[in-house]
Each structure stands twice: as structure tokens, then as C-alpha cells.
């Protein structure tokens, strides 16, 4: 099935917001074309791997890690320790895992994500693409998640960046724009602004004022 570019933008922007919704029940996908899987911390080795990943990726991953760490520091009988007890059966572990990553944890994250997404198009127009991306990357985990989403969307839909990324896997969208010429920056700004407008529309449709998401 052949889709128009507008359909592709809408599809993947919707997927970004739906991904946040599924994160509230402990599910994630590393890329928008991938399968969802459950995020579970049921061993110390997984905790270490998860910590390293959260620091590298940022965004909602840091929200996950912040909560796990707060539970460790809160008291010696934390939810994390309960999760690690071999005595618990699979059903109990699943229930506790869901509790750790419940909707209360992410209500503020969802609300802030929606708020910053709505302002994104105007930010690009007022401050330029590179400055806006740098600002979102450096700020709160909600803005960082929007930056992560934009870079993933551009890699999927903007061919010059996709081709450049294959040759420069350790670099990101900001480096691509700095290294590119004026025409690349102009085209990338047009595409990113179009994506930002779609993300704004999807957020307005999907995220309620209280910080929760409408049902899928």
C-alpha cells in the first residue's frame, strides 16, 4: 500500500504519542517500526543495563530510571527488592512491574510532553531549527523525548538524513544540520516543521488536559 508523505507523517507522529501511552503500562519500542515489549527490571544485571541505556537515550527512559532509583533510596524494602524476590510467582511480578510503571508515574510526563509538543512549531519558526533542537535536547526529559522522536522521524522520512546516518551512526540530527549546506538546512527545516505541526495536531487529539491519554 502506497501512502502519501502526509499520511506517513501523520502515521509516525501518532505512533510517537501512542508509544508514550503504552509506556505508562511498562511497554516500549526502540523504533517506530518495531514491536512493543515490556520493560521489566527483574535482576541486578538488567538494572545496570537499564541505567546505562537511560543515560544514553534520555527522554522517558530517564523517567523510568528515576523512579527505580527513588524506590531504592526510599527504604530497604522497596518495590525493586520485591520484584527481585524469587519467591514471587510470575503473576505477582507482573502486577508489581505494572505498579512501578503505572499511569500515576507518567501523568506529569504526558502533560509536559503534550505542552512542549504544542509549542514546537512556533519554536522552530522563532528560533530556527538547530537552536530549537539543541534546546529540546538539553532540557527536561519531556523535551528530550520530543527531540528523540523528531530525530527518529527524520531518519524515517528525510532521505538525506537517513543516508548520512548510515555513514555516521554515532552522530545525530544536530551534527547533520551543522555539517550540511544551506540547502540541506532549508529542506530539513521544511520537513521538521511539517512533522512538528503533525505532532502538535496528534497531541491535541490524543492528550487530555489532565495529562492522560485517550484510549486507543
Whether residue 53 sits in one domain with residue 119: no
Whether residue 78 sits in one domain with residue 143: no
Whether residue 142 sits in one domain with residue 86: no
Average pLDDT, the chain: 80
Whether residue 117 sits in one domain with residue 188: yes
Q: Grade residue 160 by pLDDT with cuts at 50, 70 and 90.
A: very high
Q: What is the percentage of the chain residues whose pLDDT exceeds 70?
A: 70
Instruction: Assign 210 to helix, strand or coil.
Output: coil
pLDDT digits (tens, 9 = 90+) for 188-209: 999 999 999 999 999 999 887 4
Whether residue 94 sits in one domain with residue 74: yes
pLDDT digits (tens, 9 = 90+) for 33-55: 878 777 666 666 777 777 777 77
pLDDT digits (tens, 9 = 90+) for 134-158: 999 998 788 999 999 999 999 999 9
> Is the pLDDT at 103 greater than 80, yes or no?
no
Whether residue 109 sits in one domain with residue 160: yes
pTM for the predicted model, two decimal places: 0.77
Per the structure, the count of domains in the chain is: 2
Last residue of a domain, one of 100, 117, 135: 100
> Is the pLDDT at 106 greater than 70, yes or no?
no
Residue 34 lies in a domain: no
Average pLDDT over residues 154-166: 95
Cell of 190: 521544511
Whether residue 113 sits in one domain with residue 199: yes
As a whole number of angstroms, the distance between CA 133 and CA 212 comes to: 26
- The residue among 59 and 127 whose pLDDT is bigger is 127
Q: What is the pLDDT of residue 141?
A: 85
Domain that holds residue 181: 105-206
> Is the pLDDT at 78 greater than 60, yes or no?
no
What is the 3 state secondary structure string of 128-159? Answer: CHHHHHHHHHHCCHHHHHHHHHHHHHHHHHCH
Amino acid at each position: 500500500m502506497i501512502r502519501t508523505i502526509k499520511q506517513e507523517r501523520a502515521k509516525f507522529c501518532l505512533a510517537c504519542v501512542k508509544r508514550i501511552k503504552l509506556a505508562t503500562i511498562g511497554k516500549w519500542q526502540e523504533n517506530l517500526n518495531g514491536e512493543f515489549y515490556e520493560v521489566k527490571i527483574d535482576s541486578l544485571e538488567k538494572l545496570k543495563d537499564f541505567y546505562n541505556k537511560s543515560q544514553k537515550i534520555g527522554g522517558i527512559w530517564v523517567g523510568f530510571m528515576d523512579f527505580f532509583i527513588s524506590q531504592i533510596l526510599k527504604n530497604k524494602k522497596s518495590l525493586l527488592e520485591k520484584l527481585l524476590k524469587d519467591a514471587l510467582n510470575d503473576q505477582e511480578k507482573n502486577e508489581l512491574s505494572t505498579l512501578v510503571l503505572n499511569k500515576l508515574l507518567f501523568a506529569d510526563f504526558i502533560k509536559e510532553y503534550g505542552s512542549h509538543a504544542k509549542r514546537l512549531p512556533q519554536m522552530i519558526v522563532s528560533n530556527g531549527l538547530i537552536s530549537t533542537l539543541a534546546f529540546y535536547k538539553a532540557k527536561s526529559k519531556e523535551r528530550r523525548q520530543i527531540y528523540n522522536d523528531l530525530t527518529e522521524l527524520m531518519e524515517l522520512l528525510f532521505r538525506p538524513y537517513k543516508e548520512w546516518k548510515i555513514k555516521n551512526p554515532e552522530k545525530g540530527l544536530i551534527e547533520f544540520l551543522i555539517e550540511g549546506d544551506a540547502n540541506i538546512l532549508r529542506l530539513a527545516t521544511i520537513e521538521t516543521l511539517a512533522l512538528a505541526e503533525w505532532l502538535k495536531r496528534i497531541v491535541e487529539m490524543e492528550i487530555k488536559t489532565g495529562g492522560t491519554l485517550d484510549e486507543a
